[in-house]
Amino acid sequence: MIPVAFDYEVAESVDHAIELLGQYGDESKLLAGGHSLIPIMRLRLAAPAVLIDLGKLENLRYVRDGGDHLKIGAMTRHRDLAFNEMVAQHCGIVGYTAGLLGDPSVQHRGTIGGTLSHGDASGDMPSVITALEGSIVVQGPNGERVVKAADFFQDYLVTDLGEQEVVTEVRVPKLNGNTGWSYKKFSRRSQDWAMVGVAAVVERSNGSIGSARIALTAMGATPLRATSVEQALSGAPRDAVAEAAQSADEGTSPASDSAASAEFRRHLARVWTKRAVEEALSR
């Protein structure tokens, strides 16, 4: 379908984008890569009167060393992350996952700021940033604030973003040599959205598991931490993984839809959590 007619503005800076959001209010939407927004406009599930294009904001397209963390500009494209050496060296799960999203055209246009702001529970990067306990930098008329990933995703397609706010940066910790990671995604075809995904960041300690952070994709309205698995694995021997993973679906509320039943998603969460933690331990 063709989207409902809309007006188009080009933001020359983040301040200008904030000003335009103030001018047009809830009639307007920011446009980044357009790979989530345009499809829902074509389905007429969204009909913004004005699109405010962030595409000219090359100053939001970067990966920088922030000391103990990496700073990633909101307009950094998935493809940039998949091939970035600093990301590969310090936080490989981000680059790996960026290289899994959709197909090459999605990766060349879609941005990290767009995928987090969209807040789709089937999105891969929201779970990865949640497992990393990363944070999201947001700018609005009252200045800048930094929101923890755990507080950013609030409901299905609902985030903590205010009406006049723009995501400008994503911050992820640098992982040390004792920390392994894995993102496992189950889908019918390699380029499909996740039926279920599992992001695992696991710290090894003297041959045992020090701590594990696990976030699940498509197991509820937001990325969900598998807290009972995390607790069972804290300080546990490596052979505890299979049993701990059996509680991966505890506290989740997966949907039944045309892709999978809720029960199948629960099964996948358990199996994929085991495999993700095992892979993280071996990395």
Ligand X SMILES: Cc1cc2nc3c(=O)[nH]c(=O)nc-3n(C[C@H](O)[C@H](O)[C@H](O)COP(=O)(O)OP(=O)(O)OC[C@H]3O[C@@H](n4cnc5c(N)ncnc54)[C@H](O)[C@@H]3O)c2cc1C
Binding site for ligand X (CB under 6 A): 29-37, 39, 54, 74, 101-102, 106, 109-111, 113-115, 117-118, 123-125, 161, 166-167, 193
Nearer to ligand X, 127 or 179 (CB): 127
The span from the CA of 101 to the CA of 35, in Å, is 11
The span from the CA of 116 to the CA of 243, in Å, is 32
Nearer to ligand X, 166 or 199 (CB): 166
Nearer to ligand X, 9 or 250 (CB): 9
Nearer to ligand X, 34 or 210 (CB): 34
Nearer to ligand X, 121 or 202 (CB): 121
Determine which helix (DSSP H) or strand (DSSP E) holds 155, and give its type and residue range. Answer: strand 153-155
What minimum distance in Å lies between the beta carbon of 105 and ligand X?
8
| Centroid of chain to Cα 268 | 19
Pairing of strands 158-159, 224-225: unpaired
What minimum distance in Å lies between the beta carbon of 177 and ligand X?
28
**Alpha-carbon dihedral angle through residues 246, 251, 255, 259, given to the nearest 10 degrees:** -20
The answer to whether the beta carbons of residues 252 and 240 sit under 8 Å apart is no
Nearer to ligand X, 4 or 242 (CB): 4
Pairing of strands 158-159, 153-155: antiparallel
Q: Which residue is nearest to ligand X (CB)?
A: 110
What minimum distance in Å lies between the beta carbon of 8 and ligand X?
13
The answer to whether the beta carbons of residues 68 and 174 sit under 8 Å apart is yes
What minimum distance in Å lies between the beta carbon of 107 and ligand X?
8
**155: β partners:** 158
What tokens appear for 120 in the block?
A: 């789709």
What minimum distance in Å lies between the beta carbon of 173 and ligand X?
21
The span from the CA of 139 to the CA of 53, in Å, is 16
Nearer to ligand X, 117 or 182 (CB): 117
What minimum distance in Å lies between the beta carbon of 88 and ligand X?
19
The answer to whether the beta carbons of residues 127 and 216 sit under 8 Å apart is yes
The answer to whether the beta carbons of residues 51 and 7 sit under 8 Å apart is yes
What minimum distance in Å lies between the beta carbon of 4 and ligand X?
15
